[in-house]
Structure 1
Amino acid sequence: MPLKDYPDHYDAELALKLYDLRRESVMRESRAAINATFLPTSWEDVLAITKPDHPLNAPFRQCATYWEMVYSMARHGVMHAEFMMESSGEGLLLFSRVEPWLEQYRAHVGNPLAFRNAEWISKESELGRTVAERFRKRMQAHLSANASKA
């Protein structure tokens, strides 16, 4: 399916619905937990969150699948990518935290398509590239600061 050339009122309706879904109480709690406390510094940190008994496992799964659903709408031409990215950059924050270990993560969970849509939007959308690069710089600074502590 071709990508949309311009946003229309359907894109606006989807953007509003996606915003409503982000405000749902469990989703809000999951986003807050992941954004504030999931700051991996190693593959072991990423691996730990995949364990069912990890306190951030459920929030991680909820956030990752939500953002993958959102970004799939752009990848498949359901929603205009640039318009969507104007209000949906947060998912690239999570992606930037997993990206340094993405291949290991995919192999470990047995899903070569994990974070496929976030990866796509971070490369194929102009605004997605800009947002992803900003989050990558933050992640690199985080990793560098923790490497100097070791």
Structure 2
Amino acid sequence: MSQPTYDDANLLLKLYELRREPKMREARNWFFGNFKCKTMAEFGQLCPPGSEPNAYFRQVASYWDMAGSFVNSGVLNHDLFFANTREILFVWERVKPILAEVRAAYKDPHYLGNLEKAGKACAEWVSKTSGEEAYKAFTARVG
């Protein structure tokens, strides 16, 4: 991949600004503290349609899916992005156990596809740059 540009840096800073928006911060705090679903049944219980937790889940998941689309399409340099945040990896690790069931329930095989692709790429990047043990330690912290 090419060297990061000032445009990459500016886009990364814009993504950080969006993360600081008060409602997004609430959603992120909720997600990090509460979203540990391993099955669709747990997801349905924690995030029933129309609930605030459901809105928080959608806000966090769609934000990182959008950010992932920038990385996946080459609009944002992946090395710069992955070097500055592990949050996409955290969200991916938390969503991964239920994604196949959610896609089946939603009848959308591509739902959160950019999050998945970028999350997997971030996992590979961490393993490559910091070592497999760093990735294992990260996933253990995510729980």
Deviation at 1:73, TM superposition (A): 0.2
Q: TM-score, normalised by structure 1?
A: 0.78
CA gap 1:92/1:132 in 2 versus in 1, 3 angstroms: farther
**Counterpart pick for 1:122 among 110, 119, 122:** 119
The runs of 5 or more residues in structure 2 that have no matched partner are 129-133
Cα distance in 1 between the residues matched to 2:65 and 2:27: 15
Deviation at 1:127, TM superposition (A): 2.3
Residue 66 (1) aligns with residue 63 (2) = yes
Instruction: Indicate the percent of aligned positions where both proteins have the same amino acid.
Output: 33
The runs of 5 or more residues in structure 1 that have no matched partner are 143-150
Cα distance in 1 between the residues matched to 2:110 and 2:127: 19
CA gap 1:123/1:95 in 2 versus in 1, 3 angstroms: closer
Cα distance in 1 between the residues matched to 2:30 and 2:121: 28
Deviation at 1:11, TM superposition (A): 0.5
The one-letter amino acid paired with 1:122 is G
Question: What is the RMSD computed on CA atoms of the aligned residues?
Answer: 2.3
**Counterpart pick for 1:108 among 95, 105, 110:** 105
Deviations 1:85-111 (A, max 9, x none): 122321221221221222111111222
Count of paired positions: 137
CA gap 1:65/1:132 in 2 versus in 1, 3 angstroms: farther
CA gap 1:57/1:118 in 2 versus in 1, 3 angstroms: same
